[in-house]
Amino acid sequence: MRIRDQFLTAVGVTALCVNLTLPALAEVTEQDILNDAKTTGDVVTYGLGPQAQRFSPLKTLNRDNIKGLVPAYSFSFGGEKQRGQESQALVKDGVLYVTGSYSRMYAIDSRTGDKLWEYNARLPEGILPCCDVVNRGAALYKDKVYFGTLDAKLVALDQKTGKVVWRKDIDDFKAGYSYTAAPIIVKGKIITGVSGGEFGVIGRVEARDAETGEVVWKRPVIEGHMGELNGKPSTMTGQVNETWPGDTWKFGGGATWLGGTYDPESNLVYFGTGNPGPWNSALRPGDNKWTASRLAINPDNGEIVWGFQTTPHDGWDFDGVNEFVPFDMQKDGKTVKAGGTADRNGFFYVLDRTNGKFISATPFVNKINWAKGIDEKGRPIYDDAFRPGDPAKSEDGKKGKSVFAVPSFLGGKNWMPVAYSPDTKLFYVPSNEWGMDIWNEPVSYKKGAAYLGAGFTIKPVFEDHIGSLKAIDPASGKTVWEYKNKAPLWAGVLTTAGNLVFTGTPEGFLKAFDAKTGEEVWKFQVGTGVVASPITWEQDGEQWVGVAAGWGGAVPLWGGEVAKSTAGINQGGSFWAFKLPKTVATR
């Protein structure tokens, strides 16, 4: 929806703090990116590796000595733009790169917190961010750092100075397009999706030459739309009207707003796709491919290798955009090349990552009622009693039958990324227990206008908690342990070889848990809600942990009754760095 108080124009300058000595910077290579999950002295990718398992092999910090973890510094993002800090930081050669809300980027000294440079995008009037003014992170490659902006631009900055190397339009922000995800780098290409699913945009994935910013290929995710390769039409996605009637495919949604993962073994890029447009499912009979899906794409040419739709004919805004995390699973004495994903629809899916074959799906939140289960092919068994009614069949034609559906449209899990530990063989999922009253309304497409056709009110389903951090065994689908939080969880997760799991809470805590038991072993109050993804790295022989802090995101904007659980939380904008001093680590 249009968020009028967010349209302040940014400064639009790049500033270099010349009084500071910039560390010597080595170029980030393709090998650095591929090895990121194994190296401990840096974090050069969103997800701590292209597969985004968010697992660090560091084990200096453990449950026995974590009480010695102390703040090293807190870096303020400054100004009045203190809201919605969802960024995951990157660290390389003593420089930490972190994005801020309102499309800002900072380079700071990773040891001291001193600012090296700052870049502020010049945002125009009339931007249309759906779910707050967030930015989730950047990408590093060679001598550049890349990130996207709320007015749907992709920017390449010089790592040393913060000066613009190139700036490219992703799409027309006046039509509802924006960009909030962290890009990924694959084989010299920077690969991005698009945001704007609530405005009838067409979701797509595209690859650009990372040096020049020129488009290499584009892949729309909605059937009937033509792809592009090297500046020429390539192949159509699906077939016109195969699963979309009439002209509905022309404004079909499917925004790829969360970004992707990459599996070097299979040479596949995985992107999730968002909700179909409009939310009113009575207006678009059919499966509506490829919305609410996971797609595997060849990064060399942009062709779809396989697709798996988690919620065909989505009528609840469940999306399917949640990250697909490649991992190796032991089952029946065999190693399965699998991928795991916790869907907004409340089910945790395991697929064969090489071909998209369905392996399993199990509920990871309680009281799911929109589906009775998942069949042997991975398709939901719908309960039509919990699909919002067609307003055309109502007495006044203005409001369809309202239903109470679980989970809510904010999902069993929303954008906040999971972590997977190859040590414990568990996924750590930041989930929420809530439902919604939802009803359909008439709507027609208009460029730049909200394309919902639905109304809703979110409500908790338990009195004592909404948030729930769960440890899930992907082989069995069972929840091994659960940590309950009064307010919704909206932060990403990190896990380490030190048998620790980190995440943040809206109440302002960065917390650590025993990865095997779920016991809370440490917490620190940062003074504002934590809705970002923590990282850890090693420098000067010490293990560091860092996280951005600043309450915001979709919950206070869309949360209805559940937003009451976060009332009074201070907004903020800062990056906190913690370290375990050597004297503590050696005890």
Q: Dig out the tokens for 464 from the structure.
A: 């004592």
> 569, 509 in Cβ contact below 8 A?
no
Please name the residues in contact with 533: beta carbons below 8 A apart, sequence gap of 6 or more: 54, 86, 87, 88, 136, 137, 416, 417, 491, 492, 493, 494, 547
Residues 327, 234: Cα–Cα separation, whole Å: 32
Q: What is the identity of the amino acid at 261?
A: T
Which residues partner with 485 through β-bridges?
467
CA 290 to centroid of chain Cα atoms: 19
Which residues partner with 206 through β-bridges?
192, 218
Distances (CA, A) of 209 to 49, 190, 216, 242, 460: 20, 6, 6, 33, 46
Q: How many CB atoms lie within 10 A of CB 428?
A: 30
Say whether 317 is catalytic.
yes
Distances (CA, A) of 275 to 243, 287, 293, 455, 585: 15, 12, 9, 15, 47
> 224, 288 in Cβ contact below 8 A?
no
Q: Which of 84, 82, 77, 112 is nearest to 98 (CA)?
A: 77
Q: Which of 54, 421, 34, 42 is nearest to 263 (CA)?
A: 34
Residue 388 DSSP one-character state? P
Which DSSP helix (H) or strand (E) runs through 32? Answer: helix 30-34
Please name the residues in contact with 20: beta carbons below 8 A apart, sequence gap of 6 or more: 109, 114, 115, 116
Residues 25, 4: Cα–Cα separation, whole Å: 40
- Full strand arrangement of the beta sheet holding 358-363: 325-331, 334-342, 347-352, 358-363
Q: What is the identity of the amino acid at 47?
A: G
Cα dihedral 578, 581, 582, 583 sign: negative
Residues 467, 502: Cα–Cα separation, whole Å: 15
Residues 318, 413: Cα–Cα separation, whole Å: 10
Q: Is 185 exposed, middle or buried (0-12, 13-18, 19+ CB in 10 A)?
A: buried
Among 317, 328, 384, 464, the active-site one is: 317
Longest dimension (CA), the chain: 73
> Which residues are the active-site residues?
317
